[in-house]
Amino acid sequence: MKLSPNEVASELERVHANQYRQFIKKVRLKNVRGFADESIEFKNPVTALVGTNGGGKSTILGAAALSYKNIRPGQFFPKAFIGDESMSDWSVEIELVDKNIAKDRIITRTARFSQSKWRRDGFQDRPVEYIEIQRTVPAGELTRFRKFLSGDPEKFEIRNLGIDTIKYASAVLDKSIEHYRVVVSRENKLIKMYVGATSGEIGYSQFHFGAGEASVIETIDRIESAPDNSLILIEEVENGLHPVAVRLFVQYLQNAAKRKKLQIIFTTHSQEAVDQLPSEAVWASINKRAWNGKLSIESLRAITGNIPNTRTIYVEDDFVKEWVENAIGRYGNGLAESTKVFSAGGYPNVVKVSQFHNENPTIRVPSIALVDGDVSKDEDISLPDSARFIGYDVPERTVFDYIYSNMDDLISLIRQRCFLSRFDEYRIKREIESVRNSACDPHIIFSSLSEKLDFVSSIYIRAGMIDLFNEKNHEFWREIIEFISEISE
């Protein structure tokens, strides 16, 4: 069910090359619910919208929904008769792939709220499934299920679930649902209820499902029943689910998007959901500002001032976070106790997040950004005073190449600190050299070495090599440690 790294890269390229019949490429919100002028570009078939409560996730989801005329704007942007006067200035500019209109170019449409209604001239239809947060409300509390309390059985029919619904819902729930059925109203096909059963055919209705079980089955059934090329919108994808199920469910969404050429956009507060996606697929919405990249949930709390500390450092990813934390602990003379490091996505996002942090008047804790050294090779890039480069190359390659170049002298320490005692030194050196010669993507160096060493933990290998690099390279860190120590002075 989970896509391979090559498949993930292929999906990103498919979006980049506009290989969809219909696809939302970008939305630009102007004066919408506090968004002054923000653009969100959809670079992956599956996009996660993360952020703080009230930060604007659902507003972005609603802006995407406005792209097609068969979605009622009032479903996302209702107007009260009092208090919503500002809506008269709202507009959403949308860039779309629509091969029915233009086969070789992006088209642009603008939705405006004018004279107490949304104007969407020239907008097209597209199959859209909006899976609202109410999916996890117990069935007995929802109006749509009342017909199943005292209805006429003759007005309903019992159907088998689709093969793909059974396959993927069973995988996410880690239990077979092959004996489950769906009961559908003959008068209104949208009125339906799922019926569970054990292998012994002992039945029970959705009134007795757990919230997570009902959510997974219904959501997957709706997605599998949707036409190819549909737009799927999901509120709070993790709602009612165990963290393991969240990870499996997001893997399912990526799989479904690939198989059915779907575009899927969901909101979430779950780090487990974010971790399943490439950085390009994650947008963070904070105080009506949008940032592209894998901002962790913890980093969102820091940006809004909810984590107390003396200084904050934003880096690009989890590898650099571990690398910097190790260096601060080793050379910081007490800085580690009062410094928090957060991953905030690649350049330039990491710099923008740090600047936003420093401009927030409610936060008194200063921040800096540490940017991966490979970016420094671009002569057009100049960093603000609150940012510095780390070295001159990709961080993973900087560490690994040092270990490789000094392997003969360090091999006993490599064996010890990377927990490789079950391998002899010759085997370890041979596999390190093999990985180095393969010229693989530097971001998967440590996992590649893990595979060659019988899948010993890549976490141990990475941590051990980081520790060795930092121990032997005090001068590499001297200027950066001084820079960090100055930010609170």
**Residue 283 pairs with which residues in a beta bridge?**
49, 292
Res 474: pLDDT: 94
Query: What is the rounded CA–CA span in Å between residue 465 and residue 234?
Result: 41
- pLDDT-above-70 percentage for the chain: 90
Res 366: pLDDT: 87
Res 141: pLDDT: 59
More confident residue, 338 or 407: 407
CATH superfamily of 5-127+227-286: P-loop containing nucleotide triphosphate hydrolases (3.40.50.300)
* Predicted confidence (pLDDT) at residue 332 exceeds the cutoff of 70: yes
Res 128: pLDDT: 94
For the ranges 64-78, 93-107, 195-209, which has the lowest average pLDDT?
A: 195-209
For the ranges 14-23, 47-56, 118-127, which has the lowest average pLDDT?
A: 47-56
Per-residue confidence at 172, pLDDT binned at 50, 70, 90? Answer: very high
- pLDDT-above-90 percentage for the chain: 48
Torsion sign, CA atoms 472, 473, 474, 477: negative
**Mean pLDDT, range 440-456, rounded to an integer:** 91
In the numeric block, which tokens belong to residue 41? Answer: 């570009």
Whether 33 and 58 have beta carbons less than 8 Å apart is answered as: no
Q: Where are the domains of the chain?
A: 5-127+227-286, 138-225, 295-489
Peptide bond into 348 cis (omega under 30): yes
**Mean pLDDT, range 264-272, rounded to an integer:** 91
Res 439: pLDDT: 76
For the ranges 313-327, 338-352, 413-427, 470-484, which has the lowest average pLDDT?
A: 338-352
Res 435: pLDDT: 94
In the numeric block, which tokens belong to residue 317? Answer: 């990813």
* Predicted confidence (pLDDT) at residue 187 exceeds the cutoff of 60: yes
Report the residue count for the chain: 489
Residue found under tokens 């905030």: 344
